[in-house]
A and B are shown apart, each in its own frame.
Chain A
Amino acid sequence: MIDCPNEAMRDLLPDLANESLESSVRVLVTGHIATCAACAAEIEIIRSARLLLVSSTPRVNVASIVKALPSYRGSIPIQSARSARNRTWGSSWRIAAAATFLAAGLGSFAVLRPGAPVVVKDTTVVAVNHGLALTGTLADLSDAELVALVKDIDGIEALPSTEVEAGSVVNASNILPDSIGRDLEIP
């Protein structure tokens, strides 16, 4: 079997078999094949080999592979985080406490620290420092952002004008709307 001397045309034969040629090029190649016995024979080998390869492809278990894939652990843009609906609040009671107080729209909130006196701090400064949009909802924040928010809150040293008397116990259900107070679990 002799080879066609037109190497450029021969190079395009696999692309013709894979149906990946631009229409104008396809017309040129098929026109050439019609007049070239060598290329006609070669494209038949290519098509047959392709059929053989495709039909003999071993089947793999896609579901099993997908199950084995890792979860993405990189940074996720806020826009993407908003669309994720699998938020869990319960990992940190401090996050839950801070977030709940903020959601209640209070100008101040209580950071509950076991064994420590209750200190009421101003949320406005914290929110501004974070550059958080106060028009959004807490559901828009990722867990990482909430953790950072709580840390900043803890780091505020200036005391507000109001201060709860040391040693007193703050009952969340007394100062929160009933629906939130009931759901809040504070050990």
Chain B
Amino acid sequence: MTEPSQRVNGQEGEASDAELIQRWKAGDQRAATTIVERHSPALARFAVSQGARDDIDELVQDTFVRAFNSLDGFRGDSSFRTWLLTIERRLLLDRRRAEKRRPDRVESQEGDASTQFDALDGMMAREARQRLSEAVTRLSPTQRQVFTLRVGEGMSYKEIADAAGTTEGAARVHYHNAMKAMKEFIDD
């Protein structure tokens, strides 16, 4: 696995997000680099789960710029990563609205959120991997969003609810429905 699981506040011994934010406010640019390195993969995965493809770099950058411009407004009610994901979700919604208004827009395939991934090692048979990838792709956008956050990021249902703008109960239902749909597709 290329990315070790980590709590959103960093591994034991690493500075927490709160500490890094204070350091950045004091002028330490390295703190900003650490924050971006720590959270950009999760933001990128979330963007992919929502259908973003070519503009992921720009979306992640816009999310961080907006976040750093509003750091004084971050109250700490949720984790920092959850807050970032909330910002990114809003940006995605804004972009979708803007795209709908454009007369020459290209219809995006809702189910076509397949990612281009690097070749995996021998851990997964190519066929099984393709099947799993297709199963994830076939999920509804909300199911895919919740599934990605629960499985990919290890976020709790409460954190998922905050990031996705839903309730904890709904997040749990979406996850289990997603798992059920994936099992049915894989078993077919």
A residues contacting B by CB (< 8 A) are 1, 3, 10-11, 14-15, 17-20, 41-42, 45-46, 48-66, 68-70, 72, 74, 76, 80, 83-84, 86
- What are 8 A-B pairs with beta-carbon distances under 8 A? A48-B132, A50-B152, A51-B1, A52-B136, A60-B43, A65-B60, A69-B36, A76-B26
Are B71 and A72 neighbours in the complex by a CB distance under 8 Å?
yes
Contact of B2 among A17, A18, A19, A54 (CB under 8 A): A54
Known: A52-B129, A54-B3, A60-B56. 9 other contacts (CB 8 A): A14-B150, A15-B154, A18-B153, A54-B41, A54-B45, A57-B44, A65-B57, A74-B25, A76-B27
Q: Assuming A20-B154, A52-B129, A57-B3, is B32 touching A66 (CB within 8 A)?
A: yes
Contact A64 B57, beta carbon cutoff 8 Å: yes
Consensus secondary structure, chain A interface:
helix
Distance in angstroms from A62 CB to nearest chain B CB is 5
> How far is B154's CA from A167's CA once the two chains are assembled, in angstroms?
75
Complex Cα–Cα for A64 and B120 (A):
27
Q: Which residues of B are interface residues toward A (Cβ below 8 A)?
A: 1-3, 5, 7, 24-27, 29, 32-33, 36-37, 40-41, 43-45, 47-48, 56-57, 60-61, 64-65, 68-69, 71-72, 115-118, 120, 123-124, 128-129, 132-133, 136, 147-148, 150-154, 172, 176, 179-180, 182-184, 186-187
Q: How far is the CB of A10 from chain B (nearest CB, A)?
A: 8
Pair A66/B36 contact, Cβ less than 8 Å: yes
The smallest beta-carbon distance between A167 and chain B, in angstroms, is 45
Complex interface: chain A residues within 8 A of B148 (CB): 53
A45-B182 contact, Cβ under 8 Å, with A1-B187, A14-B151: yes
Contact in complex: B151, A53 (CB < 8 Å): yes
**Contact between A49 and B26, CB atoms less than 8 A apart:** no
Question: Given the known A-B contacts A42-B179, A52-B133, A54-B2, are A17 and B151 also in contact in the complex, defined by CB atoms under 8 Å?
Answer: yes
Say yes or no: A72 contacts B29, CB within 8 Å.
Answer: no
Closest Cβ of chain B to A28, distance in Å, is 18
Nearest CB of chain A from residue B139's CB, rounded to whole Å: 11
Query: Is A49 touching B57 in the complex (CB atoms < 8 A)?
Result: no
Min C-beta distance of B68 to chain A, whole Å: 5
Chain A neighbourhood of B60, CB < 8 A: 60, 65
When distances are taken between beta carbons in the complex, the residues of chain B under 8 Å from A60 are 40-41, 43-44, 56-57, 60-61
Whether A72 contacts B25 in the complex (CB less than 8 A), given A20-B5, A45-B182, comes out as yes
